[in-house]
A and B are shown apart, each in its own frame.
Chain A
Amino acid sequence: MTTIALMTDANLAAAAVSCAVPLLAFGLVMVATRRHPRLSAGISIAAVSLSLLGAVFLLASNWHAPAPQVWSAAWLVSDAVQIPLGVLLDPVSLLMMTVVAAICLLVQIYSLGYMAGDPGFSRYYAFMSLFAWAMLSLTLSSSLFQLYVFWELVGLASYLLIGFWFEKFSASQAGKKAFVMTRLGDVAFMLGLFVLLVGAGTLDVTAVNGKAAAQMDPAALTLAALLIFGGIVGKSAQFPLLTWLPDAMEGPTPVSALLHSATMVAAGVFLFARLFPFFSQSPAAMSVFLAIGTVSMLLSSTMAMVSRDIKQVWAYSTVSQLGFMIMGLAAGSYFAGVFHLTTHAGFKALLFLCSGVVIHALGTNDMFEIARKNGRRLKLAMVCMTLAAAALSGIPPLSGFFSKESILVALAGLDNPIWFAAGLLGVFLTAYYAFRLIFIILFPRSELAEPEAEHGIGTAMGSALVILAAATLGLGFAEAPLARFLSGDPAAAHAGPHLPWLPYAGIGLAAGGLLLAWFEFGRPAADQKGFVERVPALEALFANRWYIDAFYARMVSRLVDRGVAWLCAKTDQRVIDAGLDAASRNLIRSSGVLSTLQSGMIQHRLLVLFAVVVMLGLYFIA
């Protein structure tokens, strides 16, 4: 392990400013500038730009000296529990910080166009700043306590933003669902942290990754790892907590682009990378993670294949790609997972933003409707979307190809070939569903609707698209420098067996998926019905999300609402209260009995008097 260096003042200042400025923006907008939308947006964007400058500065100044630097102060001190507030600058946190800040800025600029005219404009930007603060602080956290705090705050921002259009019942429902499901994961996360705290005595990230955890009892270590992974399952929407993410698409599209594709849900993967040395010490836990990632990836790919809603497809795709990243990390390749996280942030955000342009212009999410309304005339959006879809599918020379290949290499290095096979299947399905969507929009089948008035895409929205498209094109070539930066070893990019045929296998499968999509959806003679849709039972299974949602709904209704909750409420009424009411009624009744003594009859009193005197007499004589 590299040694820990003390942080330079410049670095600390940059980190502190980058994190704190969005918080100030949030406070300012919420309290003072609610009625001035343009000012609110300006404050928020200025804050995030400062954060991005800080992030870039940190990344540049530490590019060649990636030794972790730590600074911490006490936040809460209470005997054995001591929670520090700290900053940890190491390669993955610097990279993540830059990614987060960049995408925050691009999405906020994009929102100038997308959210223009919305009555909650200022509130939107305030919540965006809140999210930026929480996410940036999360990436720089030096202690797992601190990370948990910001983990929850990010979830709060997600809740507020998903339910942003709160007058729609479905939006507030989705926000609540997201919060509660991630909260379930967070419960496991917190318990895992406690197990870790008891076993290792500290929750400092560098200590946990180092000696402190190595001394832990292996069973406790595995338990802690599994529980902490529970939090990752919740936040990154993996199986079995994956259904909140598609519902989260109720929020505005820029929110989906920022939170639910590029950054917040990636926090789970970031945590995995952050604790990678710790998790690696438990092979049993790593195989569980691998299994969960694989299942999530395949399951959500199937759901994407039958979806009609453009945002839902990309949401399922996000779940799938996160699963893919987790597979890479769990297979033992730190670099593969982080690299795919970076590239995915770029092209997935681009996909969402393009979809946002289309939705904003045409007013519908349904891809067949979009096709009917001649969506393909939105040229910039369609070009960028096709580019991004190609990157998603792993087509060279786009960034997605490089990152997917490194994960496949890692998977190939495992003993059991099933993981590699699953990875290849995932590549095929990804290309299939991505291009299904593209071809449906590009080649409409039904009657084209009357063309509406053309209004061009605004500069705000357009510039964001272009920048992200450039990133998608170029990031792949940064693979080697990134590998060297992240682990100090350029060969880490290809950790695993050297299989020359592997890239071709990946390309081949991606091309296969694309061709199948073309055959079923793009071809002029095709009837736009996929092979899955020909099997109604299968289609129903995928469309209903493998009935996971139905299962949860029934469980909440039966077990929680009508089960335990009913029991508790009834106990209060029927057992505790009724018991007390019965006791008091009996008390009243017994006092009724006793009150017959007070009959008011002088003869009774006389009798009692006589009896007492006789008894006294006997007592004193006898």
Chain B
Amino acid sequence: MIVPYSHILALAGIVFLLGMICTVTRRNLILMLLGLEIMLNAAAIALVGASLRWMAMDGQAMALFIVVVAAGEVSLGLALIVCVHRSTGSVDPALENRSAPENPSA
């Protein structure tokens, strides 16, 4: 192996942690979604490394699944964020920072 498996796991772990920090600390729904994406990618990295370690295709297959699911989930999430922005005027996750709907038809 070119890269020891523990290094890949460490990289995946750090990326996951970064994604977690991004999700938890940012006051913007889009950036929360971004963090989620980063966490998903970290999982994919770990899976690919595992596939390399045990010389099996299952890991890469699962990584492809993750990419597909992430795509679907991101599109849905962004659609929801657009709805939220239309009805409350902000993308702040804190409840008290939202204001009343501007156009009731949203």
Please tell me whether chains A and B touch each other in their complex, using a CB distance cut-off of 8 A. Answer: yes
How close is B33's CB to chain A, nearest CB, in angstroms? 12
A602 and B20 within 8 A (CB): no
B23 and A603 within 8 A (CB): yes
In the complex, chain B residues whose CB is within 8 Å of the CB of A602 = 93
How close is A596's CB to chain B, nearest CB, in angstroms? 13
**B32 contacts the other chain (Cβ, under 8 Å)?**
yes
In the complex, chain B residues whose CB is within 8 Å of the CB of A604 = 24
A600 and B95 within 8 A (CB): yes
- Residues facing B in A602-617 (CB within 8 A) are 602-604, 606-607, 610
Number of interface residues of A (CB under 8 A): 8
**A601 contacts the other chain (Cβ, under 8 Å)?**
yes
B24 and A606 within 8 A (CB): yes
How close is B67's CB to chain A, nearest CB, in angstroms? 22
Among residues of A, the one whose C-beta sits closest to the C-beta of B94 is A601
B95 and A603 within 8 A (CB): no
Among residues of B, the one whose C-beta sits closest to the C-beta of A602 is B93
In the complex, chain A residues whose CB is within 8 Å of the CB of B32 = 603
A579-622 to B contact mask, C-beta < 8 Å, 1/0: 00000000000000000000011111011001000000000000
Among residues of B, the one whose C-beta sits closest to the C-beta of A607 is B24
How close is B9's CB to chain A, nearest CB, in angstroms? 13
How close is B97's CB to chain A, nearest CB, in angstroms? 11
Among residues of A, the one whose C-beta sits closest to the C-beta of B27 is A603
Inter-chain CA distance A64–B94, complex, in Å, is: 110
B9-33 to A contact mask, C-beta < 8 Å, 1/0: 0000000000010011100000010
In the complex, chain A residues whose CB is within 8 Å of the CB of B25 = 603
In the complex, chain B residues whose CB is within 8 Å of the CB of A603 = 23-25, 32, 93
B81-98 to A contact mask, C-beta < 8 Å, 1/0: 000000000000111000
In the complex, chain B residues whose CB is within 8 Å of the CB of A601 = 93-95
Among residues of B, the one whose C-beta sits closest to the C-beta of A605 is B24
How close is A529's CB to chain B, nearest CB, in angstroms? 94
A178-191 to B contact mask, C-beta < 8 Å, 1/0: 00000000000000
Inter-chain CA distance A10–B80, complex, in Å, is: 110
Inter-chain CA distance A120–B25, complex, in Å, is: 90
In the complex, chain A residues whose CB is within 8 Å of the CB of B94 = 601
A606 and B23 within 8 A (CB): yes
Inter-chain CA distance A62–B24, complex, in Å, is: 110
Inter-chain CA distance A604–B25, complex, in Å, is: 9
Inter-chain CA distance A552–B23, complex, in Å, is: 82
Inter-chain CA distance A604–B23, complex, in Å, is: 10
In the complex, chain B residues whose CB is within 8 Å of the CB of A607 = 20, 24
How close is A615's CB to chain B, nearest CB, in angstroms? 15
Inter-chain CA distance A600–B94, complex, in Å, is: 8
How close is A599's CB to chain B, nearest CB, in angstroms? 8
Inter-chain CA distance A606–B25, complex, in Å, is: 11
- Residues facing B in A280-299 (CB within 8 A) are none
B29-49 to A contact mask, C-beta < 8 Å, 1/0: 000100000000000000000
Inter-chain CA distance A601–B24, complex, in Å, is: 10
In the complex, chain B residues whose CB is within 8 Å of the CB of A610 = 20, 24
How close is A614's CB to chain B, nearest CB, in angstroms? 10
- Residues facing A in B56-106 (CB within 8 A) are 93-95
In the complex, chain A residues whose CB is within 8 Å of the CB of B95 = 600-601
Inter-chain CA distance A603–B29, complex, in Å, is: 10
In the complex, chain B residues whose CB is within 8 Å of the CB of A600 = 95
| B24, B25, B95: most-surrounded residue (chain A CB, <10 A) | B24
How close is A564's CB to chain B, nearest CB, in angstroms? 56
How close is A600's CB to chain B, nearest CB, in angstroms? 5
In the complex, chain A residues whose CB is within 8 Å of the CB of B20 = 607, 610
In the complex, chain A residues whose CB is within 8 Å of the CB of B23 = 603, 606
| A603, A607, A610: most-surrounded residue (chain B CB, <10 A) | A603
Inter-chain CA distance A600–B23, complex, in Å, is: 16
Inter-chain CA distance A541–B96, complex, in Å, is: 82
Inter-chain CA distance A606–B93, complex, in Å, is: 13
How close is B91's CB to chain A, nearest CB, in angstroms? 13
Among residues of B, the one whose C-beta sits closest to the C-beta of A603 is B24
Inter-chain CA distance A610–B20, complex, in Å, is: 8
Inter-chain CA distance A610–B13, complex, in Å, is: 13
A131-153 to B contact mask, C-beta < 8 Å, 1/0: 00000000000000000000000
How close is A211's CB to chain B, nearest CB, in angstroms? 92
How close is A433's CB to chain B, nearest CB, in angstroms? 92
Inter-chain CA distance A602–B95, complex, in Å, is: 10
Among residues of A, the one whose C-beta sits closest to the C-beta of B21 is A607
Inter-chain CA distance A602–B24, complex, in Å, is: 9
How close is A483's CB to chain B, nearest CB, in angstroms? 105
How close is B87's CB to chain A, nearest CB, in angstroms? 17
How close is B10's CB to chain A, nearest CB, in angstroms? 15
Inter-chain CA distance A439–B20, complex, in Å, is: 115
Inter-chain CA distance A51–B106, complex, in Å, is: 104
In the complex, chain A residues whose CB is within 8 Å of the CB of B93 = 601-603
Instruction: Please list 17 pairs of residues, one from A and one from B, whose beta carbons are closer than 8 Å in the complex, sorted by A's number.
Output: A600-B95, A601-B93, A601-B94, A601-B95, A602-B93, A603-B23, A603-B24, A603-B25, A603-B32, A603-B93, A604-B24, A606-B23, A606-B24, A607-B20, A607-B24, A610-B20, A610-B24
CB-CB nearest 3 A-B residue pairs? A603-B24, A607-B24, A600-B95
**A-B contacts besides A601-B94, A604-B24, 15 pairs, CB < 8 Å:** A600-B95, A601-B93, A601-B95, A602-B93, A603-B23, A603-B24, A603-B25, A603-B32, A603-B93, A606-B23, A606-B24, A607-B20, A607-B24, A610-B20, A610-B24
